[in-house]
Amino acid sequence: MKRVLSVFGTRPEAIKMCPLVLELERRAGLESLVCVTAQHREMLDGVLKTFGVTPDFDLNIMSEGQTLSDITAKVLTGLGPVLDAAKPDLVLVHGDTGTTFSAALSAFYHHLPVGHVEAGLRTWDRWSPYPEELNRCLVGRLAELHFAPTARNRENLEREAVEGTIFVTGNTVIDAMAYTVNDRPFGCAALNGVDFQNRRVIAMTCHRRENYGEPMENIFTAVRELALAFPGVTVVYPVHLSPVVQRAARSHLEGLPNVLLTEPLDAMDMHRLMDRSYLVMTDSGGLQEEAPALGKPVLVLRRETERPEAVAAGTVKLAGTGRAEILRLASELLTDPAEYEKMARAVNPYGDGQACRRIADAIEWHFGLRTDPPAPFTV
Ligand code: UD1
Ligand code: UDP
């Protein structure tokens, strides 16, 4: 029996790792263990509940206004005793957070192999997204098994000549959506009061560190002006719990009749919200993968993206962080049906719902429990 320890700590990591944990649990030759760092607390716990995953270890590191160094140091020291106790044959990490980098480094210090889920996403700008771009590059260096969602992600890893084996698997977020997207009422009472039949709803999120300060002020000013210009549109914005984001969002957007600020939503509600919305505006990575699968146009509130596949397919546009351009692009989608129709097509460049199966197959193959590696995901 080979022991696989999955380590994650934030909401997006959990949404993308929980379906994989459930898949690993189904494999007879593997023992699946989970350690959460709880870099996020409430936002993480909501996802664990949605998927029914109970961690074996919980480092419980979150503190209000934590710095990147706090996160890195606490995960590095906290994970050591867990690795000693669990004695895994493989440590899985996901994506690009502080948890991801620090857990991979800790595994390396314990001479343990690392598997990197969602490997190979790059903007090639170390400052954006900050610090995620460099986190994922560093994990690429530490990992021996690289689970790249797309062929383009594999090319990025080849360009860096990473060591080990690369598998193209699709993104597990598409697998997660099989659990979450349905027609049932929302868990969040405020959302059940929104008239999705008669109003056009914009689902929005914004929280990234490189947007703190002026870019976030510009984004919120543009959304405010949009809401005032289009009274028949409702903006729904679940606000991240970061105090920086809470302050900025409330000062610009509170009190407008057609802007609904909510607590962070659980994954089921978030995915249902996007499914019932007209348009998505976001600086999130995950939403850029989910909305195209639901046929919803996306305006990305960033200057770059590590997810160019849906931009190439024409369903995602980079709006940047300037007030005027965000307002122009959103207004265009609300007033020009032809432009809207061009973007509102369901495309799935990020996965086919089989990513977890491919990753589990690849792990079994790596351990000699299977003769062939999985066939790569292709669009
Ligand atoms: C982190 C990740 C980012 C990821 C994002 C997902 C890093 C460097 N960044 O950024 O890659 O996109 O999570 O959301 O790892 N808070 C709570 N409760 C929660 C979660 C957060 O109160 O459940 C508050 C705390 O005050 C915390 C703050 O939010 O200090 C910021 O959280 P942190 O994980 O440091 O940064 P994120 O911006 O969430
Ligand atoms: N999400 C959620 N509730 C919210 C906002 C986002 O469940 O209130 C989900 C979203 O559907 C996606 C993930 O969280 O799966 C994205 O998280 P985030 O934007 O925090 O991080 P990123 O994807 O940029 O790393």
List, run by run, the mean pLDDT of 10-residue segments along the chain (379 residues): 98 98 98 98 96 98 94 98 98 98 98 98 96 98 98 98 98 96 94 96 96 97 98 98 96 97 96 97 96 96 96 96 98 97 93 98 98 97
Atom of ligand 2 nearest to the CA of 283: 24
Helices (H), 185-344: 189-192, 214-229, 243-253, 267-276, 286-293, 309-313, 323-335, 337-343
Q: What is the pLDDT of residue 65?
A: 87
Distance CA 167, CA 150 (A): 9
Residue in 284, 288, 300, 302 to alter for ligand 2 test, most ligand atoms within 8 A of Cβ: 284
Task: Note if 146 is an active site residue.
Answer: no
Q: What domains lie within the chain, and their CATH numbers?
A: 2-171+351-366 (3.40.50.2000), 189-344 (3.40.50.2000)
Give the three-state DSSP class for 81.
helix
Element housing 19 (H / E): helix 11-25
Q: What is the pLDDT of residue 61?
A: 97
Residues with CB under 6 A from ligand 2: 11-12, 15, 205, 207, 238, 264-265, 267, 270-271, 284-287, 290
> 357 CB contacts (<8 Å, ≥6 apart)?
23, 374
Residue in 149, 129, 132, 112 with CA at minimum distance from that of residue 35: 112
Q: Any idea what the Cα angle at residue 216 is, between residues 236 and 308, rounded to 5°?
A: 80
Which of 91, 100, 109 lies closest to 37 in space, CA to CA? 100
**Which of 110, 115, 130 minimizes the C-alpha distance to 5?**
115
Ligand 1 within 6 A of CB of 74: no
- Read off φ and ψ for residue 252, nearest 5 degrees: -95, -30
Q: CA 135, CA 89: separation in Å to the nearest integer?
A: 23
148 three-state secondary structure: strand
Model confidence, pTM: 0.95
**Which one of the listed residues 13, 23, 132, 309 is annotated catalytic?**
132
User: Which of these is catalytic: 40, 207, 271, 276?
Assistant: 207
pLDDT given for residue 346 in this prediction: 86
Q: Which residues pair with 166 in a beta bridge?
A: 146
Residue whose CA is at the smallest distance from ligand 2 atom 3:
265
Q: Would you state the pLDDT for residue 205?
A: 98
